[in-house]
Structure 1
Amino acid sequence: MSHPLSDMMGVNMEKIRSMVDTNSVIGEPITTPDGVTIIPVSKVSFGFASGGSDYVSKHTSADGTNPFGGGAGAGVTIQPVSFIVIKGESVRMLPVVAPAASSLDRIIELLPDLTDKLSELLKKDKKPKDIDETGEF
């Protein structure tokens, strides 16, 4: 036989599960007209509490069980953390945080951009040079 407290906890958890799924953490991809795909990433926090008590009454029930009193509650917060931006072969994670606290933090944030720029420059330098009419470079 199921106890009312177990039933309340079960209903509470089912409601939380219906509100928070994997699409709450990693959101649905959004594609812009110029082909950039943006995927939101969120932090999900939740909590629940329930409690109850059987108590003795002056009047006993027909089945011999004591009356039950209880309650349950839940809370959910969803906070955006970052966005994954996909453009062609480039994938970036754009955090939703306060600006860098120090110069070193800012340099670390810019490091992926710097490596992309360097790789583009190296690709340009490796292109074959034009051959003039004499057959020489």
Structure 2
Amino acid sequence: MAHPIEMLMQTTMENLKQMIDVNTIVGDAVQSSSGAVIIPVSKVSFGFVAGGGDIKQDNNKMNKTDENTPLFAGGTGAGISVMPIAFLVVTQDQIRLLNVSANSNIERIIDIIPNIIEDIKEIIQRR
């Protein structure tokens, strides 16, 4: 017979499996009115804890159990954090990753530098 803590851990892990799947990290695609497909990307963190112990039986108690059956006290817990970090935007002619983080301004500047360089080249060629 399995120890009660094993059953607690198994039940908790099965519930975690049901809550977390690939769609939690890479969300379902949504199509915008302009035809772009937007796919959310999230960071998922989770924690799990389990604990317990056998309790020594007190022979003076009124509500005795079978002396061969150990008494057990225990519990488990879990927590999940889901934080969106980016959106993948797919159009007919390009694919862009839009970051949600605080550092995304620097990344946006880096993304638009090639466009700025092309604009400068066009201005110089016109002159």
Pairwise same-fold verdict (TM > 0.5): yes
Deviates more, 1:14-23 or 1:74-83: 14-23
In structure 2, list runs of 5 or more residues that go unmatched.
Answer: 122-127
State whether structure 2 residue 69 is matched by structure 1 residue 69.
no
Identity level (%): 34
Partner of 1:125: none
Partner of 2:95: 91
Q: Distance in 2 between matches of 1:61 and 1:99?
A: 61
Q: TM-score, normalised to structure 1's length?
A: 0.73
Deviations 1:72-111 (A, max 9, x none): 11111100001001111211110001256xxxx73x5333
Deviation at 1:33, TM superposition (A): 1.9
Partner of 1:17: 17
In structure 1, list runs of 5 or more residues that go unmatched.
Answer: 123-137
Deviation at 1:54, TM superposition (A): 1.0
**1:1-137 matches, cutoff 5 A:** 1-59=1-59, 61-62=65-66, 64-99=68-103, 106=106, 108-115=107-114
Mark the CA change 1:116 to 1:11 in structure 2 (over 3 Å): closer, same or farther: farther
Radius of gyration: which is bigger? Answer: 1
Deviation at 1:18, TM superposition (A): 1.1
Q: Distance in 1 between matches of 2:33 and 2:56?
A: 67
Runs of 4+, deviation exceeding 6 Å: 117-120
| Corresponding letter in the other structure for 2:13 | M
Q: Distance in 2 between matches of 1:25 and 1:48?
A: 19
Q: Distance in 2 between matches of 1:119 and 1:23?
A: 38
Q: Distance in 2 between matches of 1:109 and 1:28?
A: 24
Partner of 1:132: none
Partner of 1:133: none
Greater length-normalized contact order (CA 8 Å, ≥ 6 residues apart): 2
